[in-house]
Each structure stands twice: as structure tokens, then as C-alpha cells.
Structure 1
Amino acid sequence: MPYWLRYLILILIILGIFFRFANLDHKVYWHDEAYTSLRISGYTKTEFVQKIFNGHETAVEFIQKYQRHNPQNSVIKTVQSLAAEEAQHPPLYYVMVRLWVQIFGDSVATTRSLSAIISLLAFPAIYWLCLELFESPTTAWISIALLTVSPLHVLYAQEARQFSLWTVTIFLSSATLLRAIRLRSNRLWGIYTVTLILGLYTFLFSIGVAIAHSIYVFSVANGRFTKTVKAYLVATITAFLGFTPWILIIMNTWNQVDKMTASAQARQSITNLIITWITNINFLFGDFWRYEPFLPDLDFPILRWGRFLTPFILILVVYSLIFIYRQTASRVWLFIFTLSGIPALAFILSDLLIGGQLSARVRYNIPSYIGIQLAVAYLLASQIIGAKLLNHKFWQLVTVTLISIGVISCTISSQAETWWIKGSYANPQIARIINQVEKPLLISSNYSLNIGDLLSLSHLLNSKVKMQLVIEPAKPKIVEGFSDIFLFNPSRKFKAELEKEYTLVGLFNKSRLWRLENKN
């Protein structure tokens, strides 16, 4: 490996660590992360709504109480909360972060820091996977280089959610599988079982990874029932038996799981899905051209031209998949294709046949993006040290360009208070509007995603802000004494009821925030 590449990778590792910990508390603590805090506090959403959405005035600090570590609620309460209301989220990460905040505190930065630390384990894990798959240290180091400044991986490393842990378990289970196949060691098959169990208890869609591994193992064995296939089946069956307790919980609470995932069930046109798929692949390598909605004060028009990099990245991805198919043994390209294709195909077919947008959710498709990243790393590693001077100079330029796109993207997004990965994107601006008045009251209901968004908003509001929250169709009894009364994201019916007594003035994003003014 050339010396310039070694120094570049060392610099990128340092940058990657910096980007993962820089401004950890700067971006909005959004809807899903607020639910993480609710779970680790040991409360259920039902308990929170019963206590807070009662029509009485409530201080912001009291809402934050339900997102803080509560010594009276044990780790068991966290698991019970998930089992009762969000069984689609297995408990491993939530137990880990619950213990983490118990020791180090429950600030936003501290809560997110566990994900950032876990994400660092992905560096040695992807290195090991590349050695097992490609038997090439150069490919392994290039993979690390791409991973360090990948906007997608950096952003999830800064979220109080389980996706950085899931990424690590995918790397570990895949590397262990390949090593167990190669060495035929019972001990390694046992380790594979453990990594698969960890993956399943981290995120439910690890089932897709297990299916991809199954197809790979049977394909490599040419459909024969070999000793390797037998060992794999024993390991996998054992892993799923270990996951059985949570499977039973999911089955018993399926109606709630279906309700909680309803936001991913809205049917999308094929055109919109294809555009989203292409956009999401770009986010694996760069996203700085997305700065305008999130950093409106940044006057740097040249960054807008980054969107024209989309065809370049797409061509590179497609060519890397073709290249790996033509240049590697079947055991290599089959692994890449199954890991990338099987989970993605399941979501795509579901969206096209049943309706929904599972295939458009970046976080659900992390295994597919890992496969793509491995293919691109192999292509670059194979070409930058090629025999022909002109050829490897060109691919060195491509490598530096691709890495530079990631560095620029991570630099810009690190300064933003929200980004494309976040929901609750409007909360920082809404909070600024509310905080600037003398004595504000914020009214809202349990409509749509308001519960999580209000949990998120509580991290941004000043202590002087009071909230009055109700369960629809109840209407709040508003008392006098407030300088300004705001209405957050009302349903049409709720808004119509208030308009009988007040004039509603839109302040932000049409239906998102209103000011109530007396008609007389």
C-alpha cells in the first residue's frame, strides 16, 4: 500500500473520530431519540400521556422528567416499556444506554455518546470482514477510509438510537460467518451464534441479514447438505431459539407494532421510490448539497452544484458491482450481492405489492449500504495500485474525490442543528419563536406524531414556557395571564374548535405553529 494512502487513512481515522463526537448536543434531539429517553427512564408512553395530557398547565421541566434516568425504575422497567408498546424495537441497545446514563448522566450529549463510542468498533470490524472476504489489507483500509467520513454512518453514530450498534453486529456476524466457513471451527460457529443473537436483540431487521447469510451459505455449497451447511443451520436455529422470548412478545403485541409502524405504510409511486433509492445511495458517500434547508444562513452557492455528483456516485456504485462480479470468485461476489440484495429486495417487493415506503427508509437498509460500500472499496483498492500509470492515477483521483465529498459533507452537517436524517426538523425554529416572548403558553394535543415531537421540543424550550396538552377531542380551558398563546400542530377538528373563540395566526410552516388572538 502506498505511503501517501497510509497517511491519508490515518488522517481520515482521526477526522472520523472527530466528526462522531463533534457537537454531539447541537442537532435537534428529535422525535425518535426522545422516545429512547422515555424508554430508558422506564416510563411508557401511556403513563406519560395520562400524566401530562390532562388539560392542566405543565412546566417544561416536568415533561423532561419523563426523559431522565429514574433510579426508582429499574432496567426491567425499560424492557417492560418496550415489550408493552414498541416490541418492534428489541431491548439490547436500550438496556445498554439505560446503564450508560445511570453511570454518566442523561444529558443529550452523554446519551448520544454511547452510539458514538459503539460506532468506533465498526473500524476494526469492517477491517476484519474485508480480510475474510477479500484477503486484501488494502481493501480493508480503503473500507475504513470510506466508513470514517461516510455521512450516513457519521450521522447514525450521533443518534441515540440502535443503528450504530446494528452496523457493528452486521460486520461481526458477517466476518465470523466467513471465518467459520473457512476454518470449519465449532468455536467460531458458536461465536457466530452469539453475534446473530446480538444482532436480533439490537434490531428486528437482522432477520433480513440472517436470510441473506442463509442464501449465501446454501449457494456456496451448491445446494448440497454439507458439514458447513449443517453447522450453519445449528448455529442459526440456536440463535433464533435464543430470540424466541422476544418473538413471542412481538406476536402478542402485533396490533400495536402495526400501529406504531403506520408512518412507513403510506403508498408511494414507483417514480418517487426510485428517486429516493438513488438519493439514499448518495448519502452513503456525500450529502453536502442538502445544506440549504438546514443551514439557510450559509451563503455558499457552489455547494448546490454537489447534486450533480449524483450520476457520478450512481455510476461508480453500478460499475463497482459489475467489477466485483467479473473480477472475484463466486464466494466473494455472492456475499456482496446477497447482503446488499436480499434485505433490499424484501422491502422493495413489500412496497410495490402491499404499499409503503420501507425501502425508502435509510436506517432499515443499512445491510444493503454496507454491501455497496464493500464493493466500492474493492474497486478502488484494486485500481489505485494498478500496473498502468494512467489507470491508477485516474482511480487515485476518484478515491480522493469520493473521500473529499464525505469530508465536506461531514464538516457542513456537523454545524447544522438538524439534517435530513432527523424528524422534528422544525422544532429549533419553533422553539426560538416561543422562547422570545415574555410569558408563553403552548397548547397542543395527542394528534399525529405530536407526543414524540413535544418530548423533543421540551429540550429546546425555556423554563418560562408552560404547556397545556389534551387528548382529543377534549378542548383546553385557557386561563388569562399569558403574554402569548401558541398552538402546535393541531388537527383540523381541533383547530376548528379553537377558531370559534380565537383568531389563529399562522407563524411557521402553515399548520405547524399558530398564535391565538382574542377575536374581540
Structure 2
Amino acid sequence: MHHFKLAPSWLRFLIVVLLVIGIFFRFVNLERKVYWHDETYTSLRISGYTVKEVRQQIFNNRVITGTYFDKYQRPNSEKNLGDTIKSLAIEDPQHPPLYYIIARFWVQIFGSSVTAIRSLSAFISLLVFPCVYWLCKELFRVPLSVPFIAIALMAISPIHLVYAQEAREYMLWTVTILLSSASLLRAIRLESKSKELAKKHQASDSIFAWGIYAATLAVSLYTFLLSGFVALAHAIYILASAKFQFTKTVKNYLFASLAGFLAFMPWILVVLFNFSQLDLVTSWTKTQTNFVTLIQGWLIQLSHIFFDFNLGFENPLSYFIAPVILIFVGYAIYFLYRTTNQKSWLFIVLLIAVPALPLILPDLLFGGIRSLSDRYLLPSYLGIQIAAAYLLATQIYSGNLARRQIWQIITVLVITCGMISCGVNSQAETWWSKLISYGNPQVATIINQASRPLLISDSFGINYGNVFSLSYLLEPKVRFQLVKEQKTPKIYNQFTDIFFLNPANDFRQKIEKSNKSKLNVVYQDNYYSLWKLAKSHILRRL
């Protein structure tokens, strides 16, 4: 293990500047990007309504205004906190309730605007900085160099900015991963001290530390189910560090982790009782794709940690950037292994590998796109960023002058890529993270250009969430006709333009036959399409 002095003054100044810039980017233009499909589900859960209730109440073939959506996107007197938890348990058990409980109280205090609800994630993201500082101190036990550079990298990391500005639980999950990991290492350290000193107060400190770990593990589990893979990484680390012997540390860990999972038992029972619903709402992860697409997706995702201009792999720049970042990350992990003790490198390697492999291997063996969701790989990204921070912290002022200068240039390039990425992101209306709602700003522009438009949609598949997403973008003049079970809608002549959101082929054919007219596609992407009824054939049907 190397020992390092405090970072030079220029580096400390740079880190402070990067932290300020990172905080600024987290709060600037919070409302600018499309409030997408999944975020509208966050607001739905906060309201306490279920999808089934919404379908019954507004997907009933009547023409309505955009104000009808408001009731199901904010807290109201008809539903309470218990309804929020119940709606998750019944319809979406993959999402434990902690974030949604916090979010409900948050919007009751600060309002339900897009800025207000996203600001919760932005504020939570600030907790990443002290948490990663603590984790790095526990890992390396060195002065400020590594923890501070880790803070700087996460401050201007594009992937952190994406989820710091999204009304979902993923920044809270990031914080709980760091907290549980740091508290585990602290408990192990105090356990070792109590053995060495054999003092009663040290033993009580150790017990309290294990209690903190149990609590943070439970909090992490109540934030996101995939915390179970992080807990598995912790378990393997404890057993490997003890050389698979039943030591006192192993025993205390087992008691603490058991306490954490027992505290989570109520939601485990919810998941078991509603497993078929969980399987249904996660069925999209089984979408088949080819091996080449998986490899391309993994490379793009890896680059999002340090560089993100919202480029697809079809962009030539991606073919240069992604392999360079892969080499950088690979060398950072190798350098960590070669220059630190097992306590440090093993923990980080397990944090990277264990949460990722249960997603990657099923995709390779059985097909699917589980591993193509950046949010599921956040624990691995944290491990990669800490490894990169360690590499940069050790190299920018170690060795001869030429070597230091090379690594200082690399550090500046990494920082520059992150800052420019955050700048580009902050000005965009949409981003790759919006997935199935990526094209909604363009669709809204098309519809808003009409003088008296009507948007017709059913609630099939992604249409339900996207019509709610569009309600945030469409002007008050737009009317909605939400149909039940693809029932052929009545078309009235007071509307100049009739649009259909992502109609299925059989539904589209029924509409064309009923109205004796053609539907023409006016927008289409990889996820959905917008169609328009031929204007000259709009009939009045009363």
C-alpha cells in the first residue's frame, strides 16, 4: 500500500471548483428535460392511485383536457400514505416504498411541479460526497488525496448527473450503497481493534458499528431490491477475508446481515405474494437481442461514467471513446490490485463484479437486456469510479516528472470530458435515459403546431405512461380522448387534426375502416410512433 501526502494546493483548489460545478449542474434546468414515462409512475405512486383505477376513471372514451391528469400526479385528499405503499405492493413490488414515502412528504411541502419533485433527487445526490469520502477513508486509510479525487470524479460524472435530475430512487440507492459499504468496513476495523486492545468500550463500539451496518443494509434494501446483490458482495468479502473460517467477525456479520434482512422481511413477503406481478412488470428485461448489441451497449454504458454526449454506437466518435475508457478502467482495476492490499482491492472488485454478473450472465445464456440498464449497474459504476480515483490520486504526483505530467494530462482530460458532458446534458430537452419517452418533445411539438388538435390513445403497453408524459408538454388547447381496450373512438369535426399515439396494427386498421380514411405516420422511433388521420377524411360522428 502506498502512502501519500495531502494533495497539492492546485489540486485541492481544482477539487473545490469541480464540486461547486457539479452541484450547480445538479440544480440547473431541472424542469427542462421531458418528464418521462417512469417519472410519471413516480408521481402516480405519490398520489396513491393505481394504474387500474386511472384506467377506469379516464380511459373511458370521453374527450378531456390535460387538467384531468393532475389528480393522478400529486397527493390529494382521496388517498393517503397507506395507499401509496399499497399501490406499490399490488402493482410494482420491484420498487420498495422508502423513496416514494420520502417523495410524498417532499411534494406535500414543496409542491408537485417537475422542478420540485426532481429537486429531491438533486439534494439526495449531495449526500454522495460525504459518503464516498467515508468509504475511501475506510478502504485506503490514507490522507485526503483519494477520497477528494473520488468526490471530484463523482461531482462531474455524467451518469450521476442523469440520476440526480430524475424523479426516481436511484440516487437514494447510490447513497445507501456507499453508506452500507462504509459502515461494513468500519465495523470490521473496530472489530479488529477490539481484538487487539481487548477493552470493553472498544467491544461496545464494535457492536454498535455492526448495528449501524444492519440499519444501513435494511435502508438500502427498502430503497431498491437489487441491494441484495450488494449484500452478496459484502458476504463474499467477509468470508474471503476470513479465509472461509467461522471467525468472530464472520459471526457478527451474519447476525447484522440477518437483522437487516429481517427488518426487510415485510417487503420480502410482499414480493413473494405478488411475484407474478413482479415478473410481469419486469418482463421487458427478457427482450431478445444479439451478442453484438450487448457488447456495444456495455461499452456505451461504461463510457457514461466519464463521458456522455448522448451518442449512440452508430456515431463514429463512440468507436474511439468507448475502447479508450475501457482500457483506462481496466488499467485502474489492475493497478489497484497490484498496489493495494487484499482488503482494498478485493472489496472494490467484488462491488464491481457481483452486482453486474447476475445481470450479464442471464443475458448471455438466455437472452435479454437486463444488463443494458445503467441504473441497475450503479454499484459497479461506484466501484469503477473509486478505482479510477485511486489510480489518478497516486499517479499525478508519483514517479519522475515525465510520468507525473502524463498522468496530470490524463486527469485533466477525464475532468474535461465530465464537465463538457454535464454542460451538454444541462441544455438538452431529452436524453438517452428517457428511453421510451425520448421522442416526446418532438411529438409534442408536432401536436402543438395544430390549431385544434385531439390526441387519441389507449393504455396498452408504454402508451399509458407516455400519454401522461406528453400531458406535461402539450399546450392547454390539446384535447385527449383515452379509449378503453382499443375501442374505436368517435371522431368529432370540431378538431382540425386528429393524432393517434402508437396505435397497434389491428387498432389502426379498425380506425381506418371505421372512418374510411388513412392514418399517416408523422413520427416514429425505436419505441413508438405518432399517426395522423388524413384531414380531408375527418367525419362527424355524433
For 1:298, the equivalent position in structure 2 comes to none
The C-alpha deviation readout for 1:11-63, integer Å capped at 9, x for no partner, is: 00000000100100000000000000000011101111111111111111102
Q: Deviations over 1:265-284 (max 9, x none)?
A: 11222221121111101000
Tell me the residue number matched to 1:452. 465
Match for 1:216: what amino acid? Y
Match of 1:149 among 152, 156, 161: 156
Q: 1:283 aligns with which of 301, 304, 312?
A: 304
- The alignment-based identity, stated in percent, is 51
User: What does the per-residue CA deviation read over 1:455-494, in whole Å, with 9 as the maximum and x for residues that have no partner?
Assistant: 1111011111111111324211222211111111111111
Taking the aligned partners of 1:291 and 1:324, their CA distance within structure 2 comes to 31
Aligned 8 A contact 2:371 2:377 in 1 = yes
Post-superposition CA distance 1:356-385 (Å, at most 9, x none): 111111000101111111111111111111
| Cross-structure match for 2:477 | 464
Contact in 2 for aligned 1:441/1:485 (Cα 8 Å): yes
Q: Which residue of 1 aligns with 2:175?
A: 168
Structure 2 counterpart of 1:111: 117
CA distance in 1, matches of 2:213, 2:86: 28
Question: Is 2:205 the counterpart of 1:178?
Answer: no
Query: Could you say which residue in structure 2 is the equivalent of 1:267?
Result: 288
Kept in 1: contact 2:457–2:500 (CA 8 A): yes
Equivalent residue of 2:264, what SS? helix
Q: Indicate the residue corresponding to 1:408 in structure 2.
A: 420
User: Is 1:310 aligned with 2:322?
Assistant: yes
Taking the aligned partners of 2:102 and 2:412, their CA distance within structure 1 comes to: 37
| Alpha-carbon distance between aligned partners in 1 of 2:397 and 2:186, rounded to the nearest angstrom | 27
Greater Cα offset, 193-202 or 474-483: 474-483
Does 2:206 correspond to 1:200?
A: no
- Tell me if structure 1 keeps the 8 A contact 2:161–2:422: yes
Task: Answer yes or no: is 1:479 the counterpart of 2:492.
Answer: yes
Structure 1 distance, partners of 2:139, 2:38, is 35
Residue among 106, 110, 116 paired with 1:100 = 106
Aligned to 1:238: 259
- 8 Å Cα contact 2:310-2:431 kept in structure 1: no
Give the corresponding residue for 2:389.
377
Query: What TM-score do you get using the length of structure 1 for normalisation?
Result: 0.96
Unaligned regions of 5+ residues in structure 1, if any?
294-302
Q: CA RMSD in A?
A: 1.6
CA shift, 1:72, in A, is 3.2
Q: Distance in 2 between matches of 1:447 and 1:41?
A: 21
Q: Contact (CA 8 Å) 2:300, 2:313: kept in 1 or not?
A: no
The reply on whether 1:418 has 2:430 as its aligned counterpart is yes
Give the whole-Å Cα distance in 2 for the aligned partners of 1:493 and 1:32. 27
> Matched residues in 2 for 1:519 and 1:45: separation?
34
What is the alpha-carbon distance in structure 2 between the residues aligned to residue 115 and residue 174 of structure 1?
21
Q: 2:524 aligns with which of 505, 509, 515?
A: 509
Structure 1 segment 294-443 matched on structure 2, within 5 A: 305=317, 308-423=320-435, 424-443=437-456
- Structure 1 residue 254: Cα displacement: 1.0
The alpha-carbon deviation at position 292 of structure 1 amounts to 12
Match 1:39 to one of 24, 30, 45? 45
- In structure 1, the residue matched to 2:83 is 77
Q: Does 1:138 align with 2:145?
A: yes
Residue 71 of structure 1: CA displacement? 3.2
Q: Which amino acid aligns with 1:18?
A: F
Q: Given that residues 64 and 459 in structure 1 are in contact (C-alpha distance below 8 angstroms), is that contact kept between their aligned partners in structure 2?
A: no
Give how far 1:165 is off: 0.3
Q: Distance in 1 between matches of 2:522 and 2:448?
A: 14
**Secondary structure, counterpart of 1:288 in structure 2:** coil
SS, match of residue 422 in structure 1: helix
TM-score normalised according to structure 2 size: 0.92
1:413-465 per-residue CA deviation (whole Å, 9 max, x = no partner) reads 10001111112011111111111222111111122210011111110111111
Equivalent residue for 1:22? Answer: 28
User: What is the letter of the counterpart of residue 521 of structure 2?
Assistant: G
Q: For the structure 1 residues 267 and 305, does the alpha-carbon distance in structure 2 shift closer, same or farther, using more than 3 Å as the test? A: closer
Deviation at 1:398, TM superposition (A): 0.5
